[in-house]
Structure 1
Amino acid sequence: MDNFKEQLVTTTNKTAYNASKIFMGIFGVLAFFFFVTANLLFGLFFAVGCGLLFYFKRFLYLEYEYSITNGEVDVDKIMEMKSRKRIITFNMKNAELVAPVDSDVYKDFGNKPSEIIKAVPAGNTDRVYAAIITGGAKRVQLLFVPNEDIINLCFLYNPKAVKKNL
């Protein structure tokens, strides 16, 4: 039987995203107004501003999805509830340590990798865990916010590395 769990972690602070949508609309209306009144320089300025806001607002609303299937952990980044990008895939057997960032076990762990993958949404208030993963010669540190079900399933596949009751 397959063991499968997934968790979607959304951002809680949407103020910057909503403000960028409002300013994008205002800039679009102003660009149209200035183009109609033959003031091309201001129209071009506001059109470029509207385009830049359209491009960069997708980075203001990020969600992360963690899924584990038979020991394979997938972490995806979802931008603006539209496009999905796989951040990392690893097997739980390759994890050296999975522990809360504020725990002594993590703080005392020597030789932490310098490459850190942050999969924690803005405005997060839940407990952040760190997973130190070895994939051949490459070592990575993943910061994420799993729920109790994900932690228990990770513990099932690598009980030595997962520190769940800290």
Structure 2
Amino acid sequence: MNDLYAEAGVKRKDTAATMGLKALMILGVLAGLFFIFIGQIFTFVGIGILIAIFFLFPSLDIEYEYVFVDGQIDFDRITGKSRRKTILRIDFDQVEIMAPLNSPVLDSYNHMQLEKKDFSSLSKDSKPYVIIANVDNKKMKIMFEPSEKMLAMIKQKSPRKISNY
């Protein structure tokens, strides 16, 4: 078995929008409890609000996992620590270049209109890499945070497509 395999994962940092939504949901719980205590027809409204929040709140907890297997990389989104969905799958035959985010190698792509996919943690301490790839006849800019093992595997499989500076 000579397959190259590496995986990495990051937890998405809460943005101002997700923190605001969480605060609104907490206010929604309080409003739902208030409606339940009022009674009569408002009880159903309060229960409906609480059920909706119960199902929506975990979806704000997002993690990304990257799986590299023999020249192909999958980007999965995990919501609520339970639901996994493969968002994007690319083959390294489709990749033009892979480099760190602020690399001068990527300067020629900055003026282009590229579809952007951000699978990074949004943390200030992170060191994201960018992949420029042709996916479904569109140029795409993909940001992610590979592990050292994954970088080594990608370099072993496609050495000319990765730049470390």
TM exceeding 0.5: yes
Superposition deviation, residue 102 in structure 1: 1.2
Task: Quickly say closer, same or farther: Cα 1:71–1:127, change in 2 above 3 A.
Answer: same
For the aligned residues, what is the CA RMSD? 2.9
Amino acid at match of 1:154: I
Name whichever of 147-156 and 104-113 sits farther off.
Answer: 104-113
1:17-96 matches, cutoff 5 A: 22-23=26-27, 25-35=29-39, 38=40, 40-41=41-42, 44=45, 46-47=46-47, 49-96=49-96
Amino acid at match of 1:99: A
- Normalized against structure 1, the TM-score is what? 0.78
2: CA distance between counterparts of 1:114 and 1:55? 34
Asked if the contact 2:29/2:49 (under 8 Å) is kept, the reply is no
1: CA distance between counterparts of 2:124 and 2:10? 9
1:10 aligned residue: 11
Q: Deviations over 1:120-161 (max 9, x none)?
A: 234463111110112352322111111211111111121111
1:129 aligned residue: 129
Q: Please, which runs of 5 or more residues in structure 2 have no aligned partner?
A: none
Identity %: 21
2: CA distance between counterparts of 1:152 and 1:138? 27
Amino acid at match of 1:155: K
Superposition deviation, residue 61 in structure 1: 0.9
Amino acid at match of 2:156: L
Task: Quickly say closer, same or farther: Cα 1:112–1:99, change in 2 above 3 A.
Answer: farther
Asked if the contact 2:35/2:42 (under 8 Å) is kept, the reply is no
1:101-112 matches, cutoff 5 A: 101-109=101-109, 112=112
Amino acid at match of 1:5: A
- Report how many aligned residue pairs link the two structures: 161
2: CA distance between counterparts of 1:68 and 1:75? 9
Task: Quickly say closer, same or farther: Cα 1:4–1:24, change in 2 above 3 A.
Answer: farther
Q: Please, which runs of 5 or more residues in structure 1 have no aligned partner?
A: none
Task: Quickly say closer, same or farther: Cα 1:10–1:124, change in 2 above 3 A.
Answer: farther
Amino acid at match of 1:101: L
Superposition deviation, residue 92 in structure 1: 1.5
Extract structure 1 runs of 4+ deviating beyond 6 A.
Answer: none
Task: Quickly say closer, same or farther: Cα 1:124–1:57, change in 2 above 3 A.
Answer: farther
